[in-house]
Amino acid sequence: MSFSMAGGGARGPQINVTPLIDVLLTLIIMFMLVVAMDPEYGEKVQIPQPPKDSKSVPEPEGTVVIQVVWTSKDAPPTVKINQEDVRFEDLEFRLGQIYLKRAEKVAFVRGDADVNFLYVADVIDLAHHAGVQRIGLLTQGQELRRE
């Protein structure tokens, strides 16, 4: 009487990997969705270039400069359109009035160095929503030239 050990016998226990594949596929889809649904948002601004010749070019008439003026620590800054004081809540409405009849929708934003960036970002955002198409952010050197 002989016994054969090769093949024919019952196979050993096997792991059912089908649910594992389902989980992995779901994870892949979730990762892809998370990556795809994480876009960046931004506010476009421009940095005005200084005049090429050293002579100071006079500011064009009708230029709108929005100033964000530091008041005190932890207090919101005041806002001026040119020299006119404007409440922060009225800024968008006032800018809308100004740019309603203008063909060139350009504004400049100037802020004090101590002002939190949050307020400047708010001003840029409101100006864009009020219809300003191009916003120039005045830098340190340009402010000095203007003063």
Footprint of another protein (CB under 8 A): 17-18, 20-21, 24-25, 27-28, 31, 35, 39-49, 68, 111-118, 120-122, 124-126, 128-129, 137, 139-141
Q: How far is the CB of 60 from another protein (least distance, A)?
A: 18
User: Residues with Cβ < 8 Å from 128, sequence gap 6 or more?
Assistant: 43, 44, 135
Please say which residue, 61 or 89, places its beta carbon nearer to another protein: 89
Q: How far is the CB of 57 from another protein (least distance, A)?
A: 17
From the list 79, 137, 77, the residue with the least C-alpha distance to 107 is: 137
Please say which residue, 107 or 111, places its beta carbon nearer to another protein: 111
Please say which residue, 1 or 75, places its beta carbon nearer to another protein: 75
Cα 131–chain centre separation: 17
Q: How far is the CB of 1 from another protein (least distance, A)?
A: 27
109: helix, coil or strand? strand
CA distance 99 to 55: 30
Q: How far is the CB of 89 from another protein (least distance, A)?
A: 14
138: helix, coil or strand? coil
Please say which residue, 63 or 133, places its beta carbon nearer to another protein: 133
CA distance 13 to 112: 74
